[in-house]
Amino acid sequence: MTFFAFRGVKSHGWTFYDPTNNMRQEEPMAMAEVSVVPLGTGSASLSKYIAECVKAMDEAGIKYTLTPMGTVIEGSVEEILETVRMIHRIPLNHGASRVLTRVVIDERRDKDATAQQKVESVKKRLEKSKQ
């Protein structure tokens, strides 16, 4: 199926136009696991850099879940990529001489699902297997 993308009414997302059925649809929600690793900081501790990244996401209103090994970000792919770009640059702007950023994006088109719903789905299956 061919979709043409154009900037939508919402300032944060894209709207897609499907020429086969004249319908518009909002870009599906996606999620990404992101790990930002500042290098060349002179210290083994990274928490001050990560705290700055978290502050920036809070200020931007980004939906995220902080984990010990990375952060899960939810939104459109465009929002996710813009967020990754923003948080990748923060350690550089705070003195790191190098930054390694790893990104894994999960974009599902058949249904909307949040990170929490994905976790709950696994928990339900575990409960069923115990019965």
**CATH number, domain at 62?**
3.30.70.930
Residue 83 belongs to some domain of the structure: yes
Indicate whether 15 belongs to any domain: no
pTM of the predicted model as reported, rounded to 2 decimal places: 0.73
pLDDT at residue number 59: 95
Q: Give the count of domains, the chain.
A: 1
7 exposure class (CB count in 10 Å sphere: 0-12, 13-18, 19+): exposed
Say what the pLDDT of residue 108 is.
Answer: 84
pLDDT of the residue at 43: 92
- Name the burial class of residue 118, with classes exposed (0-12), middle (13-18) and buried (19+) by CB atoms within 10 angstroms of its CB: middle
Q: Residue 62: inside a domain, yes or no?
A: yes
Q: Bridge partners of 63? A: 74
Q: Which helix (H) or strand (E) holds 66?
A: strand 63-67
**131 Cβ contact partners less than 8 Å away, ≥ 6 residues apart:** none
Per-residue pLDDT of the chain (131 residues; tens, 9 = 90+): 334 444 333 334 444 445 555 544 566 789 999 999 999 999 999 999 999 999 999 999 999 999 999 999 999 999 999 999 999 999 999 999 999 999 999 998 888 788 898 889 999 999 888 88
In a domain, 121, yes or no: no
Please tell me the predicted confidence (pLDDT) of residue 11. Answer: 36
Q: Is residue 42 part of a domain?
A: yes
Considering the domain boundaries, does residue 48 fall inside one? yes
Domain boundaries, position 106: 27-110
Residue 57 lies in a domain: yes
